[in-house]
Chains A and B, each alone.
Chain A
Amino acid sequence: MRTIPFSEGKSPLVLVDLIHSTRVKDVVQSEYCTAKKADTLYDIQVLMKEHHVGGVLITDKTGKRLLGILTVANIMRAFEEGTIQETAGLHMTKNVVTLDAEMPLSFAVEMFDKYSFNMLPVLNDEKLIAGVITPRDIIMYLLSSMNEEVAKLEESVKQAQSLIDKTAGADLEGFAQNKSRVLRYVTIRNDFNTAGKISNEIKTVLKNMGIDKKIIRRISVAAYELEINQVVHSYGGEMIFIITPEKVEILAHDKGPGIEDVDKAMKEGFSTATDWVRSLGFGAGMGLPNSKRVSDLFIINSAKGQPTDVRAVIFLDDKNKEKDANESQ
Chain B
Amino acid sequence: MTFKDLIEKNNCKVYHLEPKLENQQVVNVIAGDLMSEVLVEDEENLLLITSLNSEQVLNTANIVDAACVLLVNGKIPQAPMVKMAQNFGISLLSTSLPMFEACKSIDN
Give the interface of A toward B (CB within 8 A): 192-193, 195-197, 199-200, 203, 213, 217, 220-221, 224-225, 280-287, 290, 293
Contact = CB atoms under 8 A, between A and B. Distances in A.
Interface centre among B39, B55, B56, B64 (most CB of A within 10 A): B39
A122 B37 CA distance: 45
B108 interface: no
Interface of A is mostly: helix
Contacts of B88: 200
Interface in B54-82: 54-57, 59-60, 62-65
A291 to B, nearest CB: 9
A193 B56 CA distance: 9
11 contacts: A193-B55, A196-B59, A221-B63, A225-B36, A281-B36, A281-B50, A281-B54, A281-B57, A282-B56, A290-B39, A290-B40
B18 interface: no
Contacts of A280: 52, 54, 56
B14 interface: no
Contacts of A203: 62-63
Contacts of B54: 280-281
Closest 10 CB pairs of A and B: A196-B59, A281-B35, A286-B36, A284-B36, A220-B63, A281-B52, A284-B34, A224-B63, A221-B39, A281-B56
A286 B36 CA distance: 6
Interface of B: 33-37, 39-40, 50, 52, 54-57, 59-60, 62-65, 88
Given A282-B35, A284-B34, A224 B59 contact: yes
B39 A195 contact: no
Contacts of B60: 196, 224, 281
A286 B37 contact: yes
Contacts of A200: 59, 62-63, 88
A220 B63 CA distance: 6
A5 to B, nearest CB: 16
A249 B54 CA distance: 29
Given A200-B62, A217-B63, A281 B33 contact: yes
B59 A213 contact: no
Contacts of B37: 284, 286
